[in-house]
Amino acid sequence: MTFVIIACCILLLVLLITWCKLNTFLAFIIASLLAGWLLGIPLDKLAGAVEKGMGDTLGALTGVIVMGAMLGKLVAESGAAQQIATSLMKRAGTKYIPWALMVTGFIIGIPLFYNVGFVLMVPLIFTISYQYKLPAVYIGIPMLSALSVTHGYLPPHPAPAALVQQFNADMGKTLLYGLVVATPAIIIAGPVFAKSLKHIVATPLKTFQPAVIPDDKLPGIGNSLFTSLLPVLLLITTAALPVVLDESAGLKNLLSFWGSPMIVMLVAVLFATFSIGRGTGMSIRKIMTTYESAVKDVAMILLIIAGAGSFKEVLTVSGVSKEIADSLQGISLHPLFTAWIIAAVLRVCIGSATVAGLTSAGIVGPLVVQTGVDPNLMVLSIGAGSLMFSHVNDPGFWLFKEYFNLSIKDTIRSWSIMETIVAIVGLCAVMLMSLLI
């Protein structure tokens, strides 16, 4: 009966989001309250469990996600993203344009949220398409595959960062492993797969021609790259130093502080404020306005994460999480594969990669403790599954279709299949890594 209740509540969540078009945060709260009541949590404790789930989940994440949004917004507004893209294009040449765009998407996708990166970089794709007479889908898919992978796999993006916190994983190690897993995913789903898309005729709307910042107003390429990648460099450094150095108590405390994701993002934002903010002539007032705008952009994402935390807490307090984990243990599937399947099914049903990933975490969380599976790989497995087969219930599907002015058939042939490749290759890479770690 327990599993029937959970299945019905998840189905309700899906229907509220997709059929009723209810706000995702409200849908999570309704589903959490209903699940808690049906699972026997006393009414005088049910509201407290929902509130605790929201607080526990956001407590460790709010600073990371908000400052990540600030950094990404400044990278876009200052012209650093434009500098990275144009510089790589000049060095690549016509023959390697898809590869250059893939690398650009990967670098820019680390600090930028997916929707921001998409809107910012798609005009560049169209410009190159017009200039070099190349099919827009053929050169666009490599960049968008990289943006999608960074969004689904890598902290400090919201869903991966939340999964790191829920599984007590190490953000530095997750990022390091994620870079390894992401590489084959974006190569196969990007430039390799794109070769089969040259025949798709797209007529991008000229409305989306870019507002180009003059070259003399752009930050330097070295400055742009270093500032954009600073969170990655700091997280990887603090994760790698204990491996190469004798870890004394003093060093351990030092690395624990400087390796904290919140401290890393704070350092990165402060550095960016002066390197690509003040360094390009922006006033402090304009930079702070940019940061305020970034916070507004992620407010709903934070609420969705809070709602998912409530659902997870209800499952934990009711004892269902342990019951689910015990039952899943009896299935002769690897826990990483089990988590991937659950995330993939939810993604196909709900459409949102973030919601699919966070909901899956609440279901399979106890498996990490009971099976001893690497929590960093569990984050990546769920992240990969949450990108599976984007279709008509995913806003990203329509964003791609409308910007590239494609038919639904060609959108599925290009965008949906690309996302599916990303999910499957990601799973294969995670499973291979589990044999080596």
Count the Cβ atoms, other than its own, within 10 Å of residue 3: 11
List of long-range contacts for 269-274, beta carbons under 8 Å, 24+ apart: 269/67, 269/70, 269/71, 269/74, 271/227, 271/230, 272/71, 272/74, 272/75, 272/227, 272/230, 273/74
- The span from the CA of 381 to the CA of 367, in Å, is 13
Count the Cβ atoms, other than its own, within 10 Å of residue 166: 26
CA of residue 231 relative to chain centroid, distance: 15
DSSP category for residue 278: G
CB 162 within 8 Å of CB 358 = yes
Measured at the alpha carbon of residue 415, what is the angle toward residues 411 and 417, in degrees to the nearest 5? Answer: 105
Q: In three state form, how does the secondary structure of 80-114 look?
A: HHHHHHHHHHHHHCHHHHHHHHHHHHHHHHCCCCH
- The span from the CA of 416 to the CA of 394, in Å, is 10
Got the DSSP string for 167-235?
A: TT--HHHHHHHHHHHHHHHHHIIIIIHHGGGTT------GGG---PPPGGGSPPHHHHHHHHHHHHHHH
List of long-range contacts for 118-122, beta carbons under 8 Å, 24+ apart: 118/144, 118/147, 118/396, 118/399, 118/403, 120/76, 120/81, 121/81, 121/85, 121/147, 122/208, 122/403
Tens of pLDDT along 81-140? Answer: 888 878 877 887 778 999 999 999 999 888 877 877 787 777 778 878 877 788 999 999
CB 237 within 8 Å of CB 286 = no
- Beta-strand ranges (E) seen in 9-141 are none
Residues 6+ apart with CB under 8 A from 199: 135
Task: Quote helix, strand, coil % in the chain, to nearest 5.
Answer: 80, 0, 20
Q: Label residue 399 exposed, middle or buried (CB < 10 Å: 0-12, 13-18, 19+).
A: middle
- The span from the CA of 152 to the CA of 266, in Å, is 22
Q: Among positive and negative, which fits the CA dihedral 243, 245, 250, 255?
A: negative
End-to-end Cα separation, the chain, in angstroms: 38
- The span from the CA of 246 to the CA of 15, in Å, is 54
CB 162 within 8 Å of CB 365 = no
CA of residue 430 relative to chain centroid, distance: 16
Residues 6+ apart with CB under 8 A from 255: 238, 241, 242, 247
User: What's the token pair of residue 180?
Assistant: 């390894």
What tens-digit pLDDT sequence spans the chain (437 residues)?
Answer: 777 888 888 889 888 987 888 888 999 899 999 999 998 999 999 999 999 989 887 886 788 888 888 988 898 889 888 888 788 778 877 789 999 999 999 998 888 778 777 877 777 788 788 777 889 999 999 999 999 999 999 987 888 999 998 899 998 899 999 999 999 999 999 999 999 999 998 876 555 554 567 888 889 999 998 998 888 888 778 777 776 666 666 777 787 788 788 888 899 999 999 999 999 999 999 999 999 998 887 888 888 888 888 887 887 788 776 676 666 656 678 999 999 999 998 888 777 788 888 888 888 888 888 888 999 999 999 999 999 999 877 878 888 887 888 888 999 999 999 999 999 999 999 999 999 98
| Distance set, CA 191 to CA 47, 176, 425 (Å) | 49, 23, 14
Residue type, 186: I
CA-wise closest residue to 12 among 24, 25, 27: 27
CB 164 within 8 Å of CB 201 = no
Question: pTM for the full model?
Answer: 0.77
Count the Cβ atoms, other than its own, within 10 Å of residue 392: 13
Tens of pLDDT along 25-39? Answer: 999 899 999 999 998
Measured at the alpha carbon of residue 289, what is the angle toward residues 63 and 79, in degrees to the nearest 5? Answer: 95
